Amino acid sequence: MTEKKSTKKAKLKGTHTKFEKKMSHAQKQYLVRQSKDPYTAKAQQMGYRSRAAFKLLELNEKFNLLKPNQTIVDLGAAPGGWCQVVGEILNNNCRIIACDLLEVDPLPNVTFIQGDFTTDEIWDEVRAVAGEGGVDVVLSDMAPNTAGSGNIDHLRSMGLVEIAADSATHLLKLGGHFACKIFQGGEEKKFADSLKERFEKVHFAKPKSSRAESREIFIVALGFKG
C-alpha cells in the first residue's frame, strides 16, 4: 500500500513539473507576483472577485464618481470586481449594465451582456438596455490581449479606450462621468486633450493598488458637456 502511494505521488509530482515547464516566463512571473501581492490577499479576505476592486475604490474616493440612484455601465466587467464595488458603495441603490467577453456570475442589480463590446451587435444591446434617458457613469477596465511589446500593447489599449470614450459620449447624461484604464506609451496625453473638449475636467490617476511596474493608468473625465 505504501509503495503504491509513493508511486502515485511521484507521478503527480512529475506531472506538476511538466506543467511548470510548459508555462512561459511571463506566466511564472505573474504567479509569483500574485502570491506575494497584498491586494490579492486582501481581495480574497474581503470577498472581492479581483484585486482590481481596490482601484475603483481609490478612484471613487478621489473623484466621487458614484452616487445613489445612478445607472452605471461597466465595460470589461469580468470577473465582476468593479460591479461589486459599485453595489457596495451605493448599497445596491443603483442599476449596473455590465459587459465582457467572459461570463460574469450574477450580482444584485447587474444586467450582464456577454460579448464583444466593439461589435455593433453588442453595442446596440448595451444601448437598448441603457434606454433613452442615458446613464450617469461609464467605467472601462477593458484591456487588450498583451503581446509583450510596450508599443503594441499601448496601441491596442488606445483602440479600446477610444471606442469606450466614443460610446460614453453616446450613453452619458449631461454632467455624467467617464473613467477608463489605459496603457501608457505616448498617445495618452493627446487622448486626454480630446476628452477636454467634451468634459469639464480630465485627470490622470494611478491608484496605489495598481502595480508600480505596470504601464496602466486611469483617465477620469468629469462633467460631460454633451
Q: Which residues are catalytic?
A: 181
Could you tell me the three cell numbers for 136?
Answer: 450617469
As a whole number of angstroms, the distance between CA 217 and CA 182 comes to: 6
Cα 27 → chain centroid: 20
> 70-75 and 135-140: which strand pairing?
parallel
Partners of 172 in beta bridges: 135
